[in-house]
């Protein structure tokens, strides 16, 4: 399997604090890889480092065969690596439709943008109903869907979702995960950061458990679901 | 997820659920309704409650949002000398128009892009002095100085924007505040800028066989009208959208592939050019310029026009600028109390209309989307 993303021995420091201490992971073409771990394990730091938001101290990040260590966020977007940040970060004073248009900012072909916006509306009909509404008036789950929809308009080859289930009702989480599955079925590779291991492992093909900035377990989603360490720490008995 | 699981006879149920959902218990019933009946149906039923629906448009706002409204205003401005040709009227109107150009320029920086610039008068001064020195000391015609003014304004913008735009806007505010003062004090101390006396005897564009002040007024009107049009168009274009995204959330904009530094730079330099060109008009109109014209109070007044009118809204900023420029003149009747009344009026206005006189309408969607009523079959279902 060819790798879409390959992270090798990644070290990231926040001042004197070592957030990542030699983390390595790969995302294969068409895979949905889940990154599990507790608060402070380094999940978000990993995606932030990949998307160029935080600086990498050492280690390499390779995407689509190119070295993208410490590349700028806009260059990564151009390559098709789209990051849906933690906490959704939608534009609350702009309408749903405008929010989706932002996703296409880096795309110069406007007919492609409109085509993708249409696709997003059919994938997420609730957004279509609310397209003239301000983003801030949506519910938390709808906002998350908007954030994902916005990323889809950018035409991702690799989509990185940072805790899409955060603060959502279980029903909503299930819907979001359905969307993630739909996205994977369209052939997009997904890197899914989650604390909610149960629902993440339901859609993921493979997973990593990270703790204190290093990978402690790497296995297929099926194996992780039955791994006693994962069951005890994240799934409950 | 598709919309076709909804069927017509269920609509009354859905809307009934929605209508009887006043408290938390029924709110969960609403969630159930969404799941049982499909979200499209319930969203449709609830769309009457949803904000962002086309509101009732009053005749006044329909009139002022008509595309010809701007044209009528420009026609009135052009016709002014035929209505009232007193030198005083022409003079304060020219002043007001130049102030409009400044406010529209600052609106690009502050309103569109959200960069707080507290020293905007610096670019105004750079434009006025560049033009003033070139025309008086070197005897250039005013028109020929314009390219130099643009270059000087851009250099000023690069000098200040270059290092500071990488930072967040609080720092920019401090640096621009300092920059404004540096430019004024430099002009005050240099030999070739005339020191505290400034530059005088600046020629006009020519009188074209008209009364000189009216000729200048008409030229200013045309230039300012073009500037207002240009800034409105800039705000609607691709760059304008990028400015708004950066203003709303810089991090999210960056995550969506917007080169935030470049975009902020574009706003700052564009604003600088507008300021510089307004400076040329000012120099020509005043025929004499001196450092005190470009003090911090002036920067603050321009900023006030932007905030008062409605940040990011071109028509609003034009109205704000006209008010700030003309109100002190209209209040001449109350003599010594003039600036006191002016201040009180501004405070009152800000209390009752904090979003500005004519705010930028949020939730603007392409007209074709908004005009269409929401229907289920609007959504194309991709199988």
Nearest CB to A105 within list B52, B258, B365: B258
Pick from A10-19, A216-225, B17-26, B245-254: least confident: B17-26
> What is the domain extent for residue B16?
1-45
Q: Where are the beta strands (DSSP E) in B225-316?
A: 288-289
Whichever domain contains B301, its CATH number is 1.10.3470
Share of chain A above pLDDT 90, in %: 24
On whether residue B182 sits in a domain, the answer given is yes
DSSP string, B160-176: HHHHHTTS-HHHHHHHH
Residue A162 has pLDDT above 80, yes or no: yes
B357 found inside a domain: no
Q: Is A87 on the interface with B (CB under 8 A)?
A: no
Find the mean pLDDT for residues A186-198: 88
Is B156 found in the same domain as B31? Answer: no
Quick one: pLDDT at residue A104?
A: 84
Rounded distance, CA A236 to CA B290, Å?
A: 77
Distance CA A216, CA A195 (A): 15
Q: Do B47 and A129 touch (CB under 8 A)?
A: yes
User: CB-CB: which of B53, B256, B380 is closest to A154?
Assistant: B256
In a domain, B194, yes or no: yes
| B258-263 CB contacts, 8 Å cutoff, 24+ apart | B258/A74, B258/A105, B258/A106, B259/A72, B259/A74, B261/B165, B261/B166, B263/B113, B263/B239
Same domain (yes/no): B12, B161:
no
Number of Cβ pairs < 8 A linking chain A and chain B:
125
- CA dihedral for B177, B183, B186, B187, sign (positive or negative): negative
- Supply the pLDDT for residue A237: 53
Query: Are residues B189 and B281 located together in one domain of the fold?
Result: yes
**Burial zone of B338 (CB within 10 Å; 0-12 exposed, 13-18 middle, 19+ buried):** middle
Higher pLDDT, A60 or B372: A60
**Residue B82 is assigned to a structural domain of this protein:** yes
Same structural domain for residues B7 and B77?
A: no
Overall number of domains in chain B: 2
In a 13 Å sphere around the CA of A14, the CA atoms on its Cβ side amount to 13
Which residues in chain A have Cβ-Cβ distances shorter than 8 Å to B252? 85, 89-91
pLDDT at A203 over 80: yes
The pLDDT value given to residue B10: 39
Q: Which residue of A has its CA nearest to B370?
A: A132
Q: How far apart are the first and last CA of chain A?
A: 34
Cβ atoms of B293 and B196 closer than 8 Å? no
Query: Are A97 and B245 within 8 A, CB to CB?
Result: no
The predicted-structure confidence for B116-140, as pLDDT tens digits, reads as follows: 999 999 999 999 999 999 999 898 8
In this model, does residue B281 exceed pLDDT 70? yes
Using a CB-CB cut-off of 8 Å, the residues of chain A touching B381 are 122
With the C-alpha atoms ordered B280, B285, B288, B289, is the resulting torsion angle positive or negative? negative
pLDDT of residue B56: 63
List pLDDT tens digits, range B36-54. 444 444 444 444 444 444 5
Q: Is residue B250 located within the same domain as residue B312? A: yes
Q: Does position B276 have pLDDT exceeding 90, yes or no?
A: yes
pLDDT number for residue B100: 95
With cut-offs at 50, 70 and 90, classify the pLDDT of residue B265: very high
ipTM for this prediction: 0.79
Q: What percent of chain A has pLDDT over 70?
A: 99
The SS3 of residue A210 is strand
Where does the pLDDT of residue B370 fall: very low under 50, low under 70, confident under 90, or very high at 90 and above?
very low
pLDDT band at B4 (very low <50, low <70, confident <90, very high): very low
Residue B368 vs residue A33, higher pLDDT: A33
Q: Report CA A181 to chain centroid distance, whole Å.
A: 13
Give the pLDDT confidence score for residue A111 in this predicted structure: 85
One domain, residues B5 and B105: no
Backbone angles phi, psi at A69, to 5 degrees: -60, 125
Q: Is residue B373 part of a domain?
A: no
Shared domain for B34 and B154, answered yes or no, is no
- Confidence (pLDDT) at B41: 45
Most confidently modeled of A84-93, A101-110, B294-303, B367-376?
B294-303
Q: Which residues contact B319 (CB under 8 A, 6 or more apart)?
A: B309, B357, B358
Query: What are the chain A neighbours of B2 within 8 Å (beta carbons)?
Result: 122, 125
Please judge whether A154 and B2 are an interchain contact, meaning their C-beta atoms are less than 8 angstroms apart. Answer: no
pTM beyond 0.80 = no
Q: Do A137 and B52 touch (CB under 8 A)?
A: yes
Range name among A140-149, A191-200, B257-266, B328-337 with the lowest pLDDT average:
B328-337
Handedness of CA B77, B79, B83, B88 (dihedral sign): positive
Cβ atoms of A90 and A97 closer than 8 Å: no
Mean pLDDT computed over every residue of chain B = 79
Residues of A in contact with B366 (CB under 8 A): 97
Confidence at residue B55, expressed as pLDDT on a 0 to 100 scale:
54
Q: Is the pLDDT of residue A142 over 70?
A: yes
Confidence of residue A182 (pLDDT cuts 50, 70, 90): confident
Q: What is the C-alpha separation between B300 and B120, in angstroms, rounded?
A: 8
pLDDT of residue B102: 95
Structure tokens at A233: 């720490």
Output the pLDDT for position B47.
45
B243 vs A contacts (CB less than 8 Å): none
In this model, does residue B366 exceed pLDDT 50?
no
Place of tokens 């908004």: B370
What are B's interface residues with A at a Cβ cutoff of 8 A?
Answer: 1-3, 31, 35, 39-40, 43-44, 47, 50-53, 238, 241-242, 244-245, 248-249, 251-259, 362-366, 369-370, 374, 378-382
Report which secondary-structure segment, H or E, holds A8: strand A3-14
Which of the four CATH numbers 3.40.50.1370, 3.40.50.12160, 3.30.540.10, 3.40.50.300 does domain A3-88+156-235 have? 3.40.50.300
| Residue A184: strand, helix, or coil | helix
Residues from chain B contacting residue A128 (CB–CB below 8 Å): 40, 378-379
User: Which residues lie below 8 Å from residue B33, measured CB to CB, with a gap of 6+?
Assistant: B13, B14, B17, B18, B42
**According to the model, what pLDDT value does residue A124 have?**
86
Tens-place pLDDT, residues B14-27: 444 343 333 333 33
Per DSSP, the three-state class of B238 is: helix
Contact indicator for B299, B106 with CB cutoff of 8 Å: no
Instruction: Indicate if B15 and B142 belong to the same structural domain.
Output: no
For A49-103, write each residue's pLDDT tens digit: 998 888 899 999 999 988 999 888 888 988 889 999 888 888 888 889 988 988 8
pLDDT of residue B266: 93
Chain A: closest CA distance from residue B20 (Å): 19
- Judged by DSSP in three states, A83 sits in strand
Residue that wins the pLDDT comparison between B7 and A166 = A166
Tokens of A229: 């360490």
């Amino acid at each position: 399997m060819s790798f879409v993303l390959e992270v090798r021995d990644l070290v990231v420091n926040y001042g004197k604090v070592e957030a990542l201490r030699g983390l390595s992971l790969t995302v294969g073409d068409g895979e949905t890889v889940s990154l599990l771990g507790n608060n402070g394990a380094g999940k978000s730091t990993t995606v932030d480092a990949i998307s160029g938001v935080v600086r990498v101290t050492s280690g390499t990040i390779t995407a689509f065969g190119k070295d993208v260590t410490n590349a700028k966020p806009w260059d990564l977007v151009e390559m098709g690596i789209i990051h849906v940040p933690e906490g959704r970060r939608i534009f609350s004073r702009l309408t749903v439709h405008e929010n989706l248009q932002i996703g296409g900012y880096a795309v110069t072909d406007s007919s492609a943008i409109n085509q993708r916006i249409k696709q997003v509306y059919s994938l997420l009909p609730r957004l279509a109903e609310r397209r003239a509404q301000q983003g801030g008036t949506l519910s938390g789950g709808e906002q998350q869907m908007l954030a994902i929809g916005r990323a889809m308009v950018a035409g991702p080859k690799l989509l990185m979702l940072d805790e899409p289930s955060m603060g959502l009702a279980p029903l909503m989480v299930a819907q979001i995960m359905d969307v993630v599955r739909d996205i994977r079925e369209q052939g997009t590779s997904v890197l899914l950061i989650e604390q909610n291991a149960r629902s993440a492992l339901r859609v993921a093909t493979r997973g990593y458990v990270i703790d204190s900035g290093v990978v402690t377990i790497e296995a297929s989603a099926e194996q992780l679901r039955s791994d006693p360490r994962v069951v005890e720490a994240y799934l409950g008995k | 997820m598709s919309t076709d699981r909804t069927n017509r006879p269920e609509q009354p149920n859905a809307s009934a659920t929605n209508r009887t959902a006043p408290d938390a218990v029924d709110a969960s019933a609403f969630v159930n309704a969404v799941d049982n009946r499909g979200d499209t149906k319930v969203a449709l039923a609830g769309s009457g409650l949803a904000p962002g629906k086309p509101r009732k448009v009053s005749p006044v706002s329909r009139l002022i949002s008509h595309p010809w409204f701007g044209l009528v205003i420009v026609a009135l401005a052009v016709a002014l000398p035929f209505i009232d040709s007193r030198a005083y009227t022409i003079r304060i109107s020219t002043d007001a128009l130049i102030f409009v150009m400044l406010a529209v320029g600052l609106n690009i920086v502050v309103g569109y892009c959200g960069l707080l610039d507290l020293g905007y008068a610096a670019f105004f001064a750079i434009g006025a002095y560049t033009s003033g020195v070139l025309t008086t000391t070197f005897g250039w015609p005013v028109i020929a100085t314009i390219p130099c003014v643009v270059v000087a304004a851009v250099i000023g913008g690069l000098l200040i924007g270059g290092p500071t735009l990488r930072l967040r806007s609080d720092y920019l505010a401090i640096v621009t505040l300092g920059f404004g003062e540096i430019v004024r004090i430099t002009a005050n101390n240099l030999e070739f800028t005339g020191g505290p006396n400034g530059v005088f005897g600046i020629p006009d564009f020519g009188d074209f066989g008209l009364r000189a002040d009216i000729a200048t007024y008409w030229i200013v009107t045309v230039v300012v009208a073009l500037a207002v049009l240009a800034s409105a168009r800039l705000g609607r274009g691709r760059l304008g959208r990028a400015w708004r995204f950066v203003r709303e959330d810089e991090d999210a904009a960056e995550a969506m592939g917007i080169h935030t530094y470049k975009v902020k730079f574009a706003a700052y330099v564009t604003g600088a050019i507008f300021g510089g060109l307004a400076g040329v008009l000012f120099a020509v109109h005043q025929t004499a310029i001196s450092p005190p014209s470009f003090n911090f109070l002036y920067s603050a007044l321009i900023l006030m026009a932007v905030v008062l009118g409605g940040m990011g809204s071109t028509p609003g900023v034009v109205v704000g600028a006209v008010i700030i420029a003309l109100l002190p003149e209209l209040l001449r009747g109350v003599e010594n109390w003039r600036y006191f009344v002016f201040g009180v009026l501004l405070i009152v206005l800000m209390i009752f209309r904090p979003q500005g006189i004519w705010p930028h309408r949020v939730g603007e969607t392409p007209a074709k989307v908004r005009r269409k009523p929401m229907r289920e079959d609007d959504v194309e279902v991709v199988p």
